[in-house]
């Protein structure tokens, strides 16, 4: 039935047929794991009446199988967002005791220097908590603007922006580059996604001892 729509359960198929669901290749499986390059201006939520969410970027199939975001990226933060239908995997990836590293690239106002690097490495005190020691790597620093990479194991609300803000640097743009063992696929344009390979899914599970 190549090139035809399957409209009844009795539709006959061949072993080499390729299936598409909502325009995406489909094969029956018990779990789904996705990598999305989240664009700015999109909420990380299942649904919202007032604004578009990351689920609006995906075919409806993934909502039906409850493939949900692992944690959140702020509305104005871009980059790697993982989604999974495995609730235990999501829970373990987000558990503070696991120490899963998230890597962000931040463009900030002002000139970052060695004092900022030292402050991040010692842990920054904010109004409601003290951030754990964090690695800050300056990629370039100019008088009016700097670019840096931040590696942290926490993920509190607007944490990276608040940490830079405490040092007098407003964040212009923020992109997550990596989550645990996975890095953002450079071939994914903002708003696009792909299914994780079996090897990538295994690496995520190994990172949290879910084997």
Write out the catalytic residue numbers.
74
DSSP string across 57-99: GS-HHHHHTT-EESS---TTEEEEEEEES-HHHHHHHH-GGG-
Question: Rounded CA gap, 82 and 85, in Å?
Answer: 10
Give the count of alpha carbons within 13 A of 121, CB side only. 9
| Secondary structure element (H or E) that encloses residue 84, with its range | strand 77-84
């Amino acid at each position: 039935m190549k090139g035809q729509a399957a409209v009844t359960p009795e539709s006959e198929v061949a072993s080499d047929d390729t299936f598409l669901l909502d325009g995406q290749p489909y094969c029956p499986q018990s779990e789904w794991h996705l990598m999305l390059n989240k664009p700015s201006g999109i909420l990380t939520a299942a649904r919202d009446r007032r604004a578009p969410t990351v689920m609006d970027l995906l075919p409806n199939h993934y909502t039906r199988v409850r493939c949900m975001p692992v944690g959140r990226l702020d509305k104005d933060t871009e980059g790697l967002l993982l989604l999974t239908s495995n609730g235990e995997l999501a829970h373990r990836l987000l558990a503070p005791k696991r120490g899963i590293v998230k890597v962000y690239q931040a463009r900030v106002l002002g000139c970052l220097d060695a004092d900022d690097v030292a402050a991040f490495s010692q842990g920054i005190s904010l109004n409601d908590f003290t951030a754990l020691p964090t690695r800050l790597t300056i990629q370039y620093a100019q008088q009016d603007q700097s670019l840096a990479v931040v590696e942290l194991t926490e993920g509190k609300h607007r944490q990276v922006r608040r940490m830079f803000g405490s040092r007098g640097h407003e964040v212009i743009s923020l992109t997550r580059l990596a989550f645990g063992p996975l890095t953002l696929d450079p071939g994914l344009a903002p708003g696009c996604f792909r299914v994780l390979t079996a090897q990538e899914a295994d690496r995520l599970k190994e990172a949290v001892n879910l084997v």
